[in-house]
Structure 1
Amino acid sequence: MLSIFVLALLVQLFLPWWTVAPLCFGLAAGLGAPGGRAFGAGFAGIGLGWLLAAAWLNARSAGILSHRMAQLLPLGGSGWALVLATALVGGLVGGVAALAGAWARQAVRGPAPVAGR
């Protein structure tokens, strides 16, 4: 999770938002985490990064832009609800991409050996 979090923060400084998906896919496939752990790491790494960035931007702008955007969506005009929705969307993108990477590794290399057998 920490590697996804740090690398995603660095990558998103220079590249578009969607680059987190190939990053999570590649890290999960390369590190070989099982499906559930890969999804959790991708969800937590990207979701936390997007949560912190959105909260910082919301606080710095006194919530003006996020309030206006939240009025367009069914969020009742709550800027902080938009911050949480942003984190949820980012977490799902990262989690699903990491899960796909774990499944791709499993498809190519076969299931990981179970300890004790």
Structure 2
Amino acid sequence: MLLFLLILIAATVAQIFLPWWCIVPVAFLLALLVGRTGGKAFLAGFFGVGLGWLVLAIWLNGQNNSVLAHRVAELLPLSGSIALLLLVTIIVGGLVGGLAALSGCWLRQALWPIQPPVAPVVEMEPK
């Protein structure tokens, strides 16, 4: 949950000022620092970036009264559907963010593997 919120906030703020691909190093570095398992890191990256892109897409769509989104949806084979365009946006952004976070988590596991706790040794007394 912490990784999801960090990716959501950092990636959304970063892409306001930087190019769209800034989500890759953001998700990668945050998962490298905070990620514990690959599956959870992927899901945090997927939903963090996907939700961030959805919010920004809706905000930008409202700024121009859906004109640009409708035209892009007509260019793509989406029959002019803005809802399908938003769905494609979520999936593409989510996959990019999820794979970046997964890579960061796997690098963390490769460099600093989590050591299982050592069980105490119990010696048996001879009879």
> How far did residue 114 of structure 1 move?
5.0
Give the one of 10, 16, 19 matched to 1:7.
10
Which residue identity does 1:62 align to in structure 2?
N
115 and 61 in structure 1: CA distance in 2 versus 1, 3 angstrom threshold: farther
Which residue identity does 1:102 align to in structure 2?
C
Unpaired segments of 5 or more residues in structure 1? none
* Counterpart in the other structure of 2:107: 104
Q: How many residue pairs align between the two structures?
A: 116
- Same amino acid, percent of matched pairs: 51
Q: C-alpha root-mean-square deviation of aligned residues, in Å?
A: 1.7
* Counterpart in the other structure of 1:40: 43
Q: Please, what TM-score do these two structures have when normalized by structure 2?
A: 0.83
Give the one of 73, 76, 99 matched to 1:73.
76
Contact 1:58 1:79 in 2 (8 A): no
1:84 aligns with 2:87: yes
Q: Secondary structure in 2 aligned to 1:103?
A: helix
Contact 1:58 1:66 in 2 (8 A): yes
5 and 65 in structure 1: CA distance in 2 versus 1, 3 angstrom threshold: same
1:20 aligns with 2:15: no
CA distance in structure 2 between the partners assigned to 1:41 and 1:103 by the alignment: 14
Structure ranking higher in helix proportion: 1
Give the one of 85, 97, 103 matched to 1:94.
97
114 and 74 in structure 1: CA distance in 2 versus 1, 3 angstrom threshold: farther
Larger Rg: 2
> How far did residue 116 of structure 1 move?
9.2
Runs of 4+ in 1 over 3 A off after TM superposition: 113-117
Q: Please, what TM-score do these two structures have when normalized by structure 1?
A: 0.90
